[in-house]
Amino acid sequence: MPARRTLRLSSALACLGMSVLAACGGGGGDSTAADPPADCDYTYTLTDSPQLAGRDQLLGDQWHLENLGQSGGTVGEDIRAKAAWTEFNVRGESIRVAVVDDAVETVHHDIAPNLVPGAVWDYRTQSATAPLPCYAGDDHGTAVTGIILARNDNAFQGAGVAPRAGLAAYNALATSTDADIADALTRDLGRNAIYNNSWGSPDNGMLNRAEASFVAAVRTGVEKGRSGKGSVYVFPGGNGGCYLVDDNRNCVYDENSNYDGYVNQFGVIAACAVDDNGKAPLYAEPGANLLVCGPSGNSRSAISTTDVLNGFRRDFSGTSASTPMVSGAAALVLSARPDLTWRDVRLILAYSARRNDPLHPEWSLTGARPFNPFYGFGAADAQAAVRLAQGWNSVGGNESMIACPPETSPPYTRGGGAAPFPIAIPDAPAVGGPQVREDAIAVGAECGISKIEFVEIGFSATHPFSGDLRVDLISPSSQVSRLADGRLCDPDGDGTADNCGNYDNWRFGSVRHLDEAVPGTWRMQVSDRLSQDIGQWDGWTLRFWGR
């Protein structure tokens, strides 16, 4: 059965595709087959894209490239793409970006010029043909693609963040089988620098574990992509942040990005969202796994990008939109320095990020790097990232990354029946604060990591309502990764709370401890935040990656 995967378009701003087709142009004169399946509702008249030059007609609508306040937002709250183009004269040249999505209108006049000949796969027909939209609603991948690499200076519509990057288009979400997803994530590994994936698990507070084939595909990509430099995988942080909303000041946060098994993985960049004021939209999810944010929409303004039928839309939003912003910024970095590894790109994006929304109460400034669970290390800044890349000394790829313990050994482990586990977790009291249970893992100097890049945490607990639990990881320098918090889950929408899933060696991921040293005592704290049920903590594990 195909796994459940959802596009990361904000539900408040989701827009149906057109239900009536008019013929559209495209083609670009390359050798890519562009015949949609026979049962498509859409038909295409394939003509050459007009070879025009001049300012893009709708570029001024795209506040995310250069925010001049045109959307009613704050001047300067943007991805700094135009600034990067101007200062460094890079626009994504020589870098291939694979869009893994539902469909891509590769014949669109703003997309066709950047399509790499033959760099397509249609999973509906299992053939090397363009994965064109077929039905109303098949518009997601086209919008995502335009944000990354819509052609600039062709006197047509707008531009992408990296408007001269090359496109590879794979519609694995059209079938959404585990095998097709894994295939798309490793297709053309030697040539694709970046894989953009604006999709993830359902935003319902449930624990959604990634398939083994997905984990293996990402690992293969970071190890073998680009001749060992590693492919860059960008995924959305998710849109499930607001569970109950009565106004913009009173929102109960339900979902956490760490409940999505696709984005708490070693090797994945989890992208959050900020609006045109540099603040988290209501749908934004917190997470210790979030690296950087890209611009996206809110209830007042949205993202302007390419649409099906050679069209242009002004209503795209969600972390589906912020993810390709980050992919575009990564493409600019690699265009300036194609020798950099996947690890270099991650670090450059994190180090160069802007500390947006500086008065937000959850900024922590006491660690090795400022961090906010809603913003990661801040808003991605393409200009600053390319500037930093100019003189960057590579940290190497997978071959030089240190794992503690080594991956040939089990992780640091507590539990498995050894005392003091299992530890009883008392129910949340009706009055007063919860009783916190704590355990510790001491890591000695034998771990040679002085700068952490990623922490993988395994957590096991037995509880009839796993959503009751708050789980925190605390580093030797007292920096806290909040991995889970109390929440109610109702995936079937029947109004009855359900168990949020099983904590059976559940994998959490954290980038929050970037550049901290490993040696010292790492603590985990667990508490019950919602009343009526009790459970037990069965154990936990740690593994670190870094240099």
pLDDT at site 232: 99
In 135-273, alpha helices (H) = 140-149, 178-186, 212-224
Q: What is the mean pLDDT of residues 3-17?
A: 48
Q: Considering only CA atoms, which of 33, 3, 8, 202 is closest in space to residue 101?
A: 8
The pTM of this model reads 0.93
Residue 464 per-residue DSSP state = S
Q: What is the CA radius of gyration of the chain?
A: 23
- Domain membership of residue 46 (yes or no) is no
pLDDT at site 384: 99
Residues labelled catalytic = 101, 140, 320
Q: For tokens 């996206």, what's the residue?
A: 296
Whether the pLDDT of residue 234 is over 60: the answer is yes
Q: What percent of the chain has pLDDT over 70?
A: 91
Whether the pLDDT of residue 245 is over 80: the answer is no
- Mean pLDDT is lowest, of 94-103, 121-130, 153-162, 344-353, for 153-162
Q: What would you measure as the largest C-alpha separation in the chain, in angstroms?
A: 72
Name the domain boundary from 341, 365, 393: 393
| Shared domain check, 407 and 363 | no
| Shared domain check, 246 and 198 | yes
pLDDT digit string (tens) for 303-350? 999 999 999 999 999 999 999 999 999 999 999 999 999 999 999 999
Whether the pLDDT of residue 243 is over 90: the answer is no
pLDDT digit string (tens) for 94-113? 999 999 999 999 999 999 99
pLDDT at site 210: 98
Q: Considering only CA atoms, which of 190, 13, 181, 175 is closest in space to residue 100?
A: 181
Cα dist from 63 to 40, 135, 307, 320, 504, whole Å: 35, 30, 17, 17, 44
Q: What is the CATH number of the domain that holds 259?
A: 3.40.50.200
pLDDT digit string (tens) for 184-199? 999 999 999 999 999 9
pLDDT at site 9: 61
- Domain membership of residue 291 (yes or no) is yes
pLDDT at site 22: 23
- Domain membership of residue 50 (yes or no) is no
Q: Could you give the CA distance from residue 505 to residue 288 in angstroms, rounded to a whole number?
A: 18
- Domain membership of residue 431 (yes or no) is yes
| Shared domain check, 368 and 438 | no
Whether the pLDDT of residue 242 is over 80: the answer is no
Name the domain boundary from 351, 371, 393: 393
| Shared domain check, 447 and 381 | no
Question: What is the residue range of 269's domain?
Answer: 58-105+137-393
For the record, the structure tokens of 232 come out as 């860059």
pLDDT at site 368: 86
- Per-residue pLDDT band for 138 (boundaries 50, 70, 90) equals very high
Identify residue 300 by its one-letter amino acid code: R
Q: What percent of the chain has pLDDT over 90?
A: 80
Q: Between 28 and 361, where is the model more confident? A: 361
Whether the pLDDT of residue 4 is over 70: the answer is no
Q: What is the mean pLDDT of the chain?
A: 91
Q: What is the mean pLDDT of residues 142-149?
A: 99
Who's near 98: CB < 8 A, 6+ residues apart? 119, 168, 169, 170, 184, 187, 188, 192, 194, 195, 196
pLDDT digit string (tens) for 29-64? 445 777 778 888 888 876 666 666 778 788 889 999
Name the domain boundary from 332, 358, 393: 393
pLDDT at site 253: 58
| Shared domain check, 520 and 414 | yes
pLDDT at site 403: 98
pLDDT digit string (tens) for 410-465? 999 999 889 999 999 999 987 888 999 999 999 999 999 999 999 999 999 999 99
Q: What is the full DSSP assignment across 239-257?
A: S--EEEEEETTEEEE---G
- Per-residue pLDDT band for 249 (boundaries 50, 70, 90) equals low
Domain count, the chain: 2
- Mean pLDDT is lowest, of 4-8, 107-111, 353-357, 475-479, for 4-8
Q: Considering only CA atoms, which of 393, 344, 330, 272 is closest in space to residue 8?
A: 272
- Domain membership of residue 37 (yes or no) is no
Q: What is the full DSSP assignment across 288-338?
A: TTEEEEEE---SS--EEEEETTTEEEEEE-SHHHHHHHHHHHHHHHHHH-T
- Domain membership of residue 116 (yes or no) is no
Q: Could you give the CA distance from residue 110 to residue 155 in angstroms, rounded to a whole number?
A: 10
